[in-house]
Structure 1
Amino acid sequence: MSGPGHNGGPPLEEPDAEELAALGWRRHCWRVAHRRAWKAPPREVVLRRLARAEELGMSYRDYTLEILERGRHL
């Protein structure tokens, strides 16, 4: 794991076997979280989001991304 102030760029040295295993687990966790976040919500929620997105002049996907990133509705 990188510390505070790290820019998230690639490491300068090759990761060892233990770090590779951790990266695999982290990638798995991100994939599961991504699937859960983008799981299709109920129809009523989709229609409400779509109407609000149109009011704001945004696409449904952009509006949903804002909700997922900020954790609150616009």
Structure 2
Amino acid sequence: MKTLGQGASLPKRGHNGGPRLDNERSSRPWGKGPVGTYYYWRAAHDAAWRNIPRDTVLRRLERAASIGLTWREYTLEILERGRYLSLPDDSARIAEIKAARRSRRRMAD
């Protein structure tokens, strides 16, 4: 990365400016380097997962159960891609999510 003055640096091309997602060990929650936009990202994350109307939660829970996903997996798909998954149209994507779930479980063991 190119270095700017005062210890700041330009992110690589395609970087969205958010905090690191790898599991780097650090005493600070934003990892190594300057705090940057960590607190803005934290606030946006909290806002996306909190204060969801009860009816919306129940509707998503019902739809998630009907296609074999958890509420969190279904909601994450909506937040990340803006897609409301349904069978049979999105069966390939649903299978990908379930496969990722299995690989996460294996890594946790």
% same residue: 47
Pick the structure with more helix per residue. Answer: 1
Count of residues in Structure 1 that have an aligned counterpart in Structure 2: 60
TM-score (norm 1): 0.68
- Which residue of the partner structure matches residue 35 of structure 2? 24
Equivalent AA in structure 1 for residue 63 of structure 2: R
- Which residue of the partner structure matches residue 40 of structure 1? 51
1:4-49 CA distances to partner (integer Å, 9 max, x unpaired)? 49xx8x9xxxxxxxxx4xx413111110111111113111101100
TM-score (norm 2): 0.48
- Which residue of the partner structure matches residue 27 of structure 2? none
Structure 2 residue runs of 5 or longer lacking an equivalent are: 1-10, 23-32, 86-109
Which of 74, 82, 91 is the equivalent residue of 1:71? 82
Structure 1 residue runs of 5 or longer lacking an equivalent are: 11-19
Equivalent AA in structure 2 for residue 43 of structure 1: R
- Which residue of the partner structure matches residue 107 of structure 2? none
